[in-house]
């Protein structure tokens, strides 16, 4: 297990997936964990309203996700933060398939109740369309 991709949104569920990834990568010096966060339209609306403009919103997101990156680096594993804009599922699938990952990890259950209702099919969709093995962490 050298190259892992973890989908994150800064939630507890995503953190569980991240911890699992750190666990799997072990103390391997060559292991790399890519952390991916996708900003969708609704997130843009809420963040711009609360932070004023796009630049500040981007800065706040990076700051929030920095914690996760530090969590990985504290274990002596290399980490990259990837922030993309678009449809979360499609963007994640595209990114996963255009790079060689040994494993893709996603947390089950996202942020709110509405998503929880839909999310069963989201993880199913990811498992179906991502070429690499996908682990759904509970």
Partner 1 sequence: MRKVFSKDEWLGNVRGDVLAGIVVALALIPEAIAFSIIAGVDPMVGLYASFSIAVVIAFVGGRPGMISGATGAMALLMTTLVAEHGLQYLLAATVLTGILQVLAGVFKLAKYMKFIPRSVMVGFVNALAILIFTSQLQHFVDETWVMFALVGLTLAIIYLLPLITKAVPSTLIAIIVVTALAIFMNFGVRTVGDMGELTRTLPMFLIPDIPLNFETLQIIFPYALALTVVGLLESLLTASIVDDATDTESDKNMESRGQGIANITTGFFGGMAGCAMIGQSVINVKSGGKGRLSSLVAGVVLMFLIIVLGNIVVQIPMAALAGVMIMVSIGTFDWSSLKTLHIVPKSDVAVMVVTVAVVVYTHDLSIGVLSGVVLSALFFAAKISKVKVMSLLVDGGDKRIYYIKGQLFFASVTEFLTKFDFSEEIKEVELDFTHAHLWDDSAAGALDKIEAKFEQHGTHVIKKGLNIESTELMDKIGGITKGADH
Nearest to partner 1 of 46, 74 (CB atom) = 46
Minimum Å distance from CB 3 to partner 1?
25
Number of neighbouring beta carbons within 10 Å of residue 127: 14
Q: Which tokens belong to 97? A: 């398939």
- Strands, E, within 1-138: which ranges? 3-7, 32-39, 78-85, 103-107, 134-137
Nearest to partner 1 of 21, 122 (CB atom) = 122
Distance in angstroms between the alpha carbons of the first and the last residue of the chain: 20
Q: Could you list the residues that contact partner 1 (CB under 8 A)?
A: 39-42, 44-54, 57-58, 85, 87, 117-118, 121
Minimum Å distance from CB 49 to partner 1?
6
Minimum Å distance from CB 95 to partner 1?
14
């Amino acid at each position: 297990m050298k190259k892992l991709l973890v989908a994150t949104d800064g939630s507890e569920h995503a953190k569980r997936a991240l911890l699992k990834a750190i666990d799997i990568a072990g103390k391997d010096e060559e292991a790399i964990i890519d952390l991916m966060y996708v900003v969708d339209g609704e997130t843009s609306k809420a963040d711009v309203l609360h932070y004023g403009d796009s630049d500040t919103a981007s800065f706040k997101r990076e700051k929030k996700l920095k914690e996760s990156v530090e969590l990985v680096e504290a274990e002596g594993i290399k980490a990259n933060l990837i922030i993309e804009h678009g449809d979360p599922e499609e963007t994640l699938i595209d990114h996963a398939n255009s790079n060689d990952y040994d494993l893709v990890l996603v947390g089950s259950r996202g942020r709110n109740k509405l998503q929880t209702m839909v999310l069963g099919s989201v993880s199913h969709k990811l498992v179906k369309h991502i070429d690499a093995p996908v682990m759904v962490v509970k």
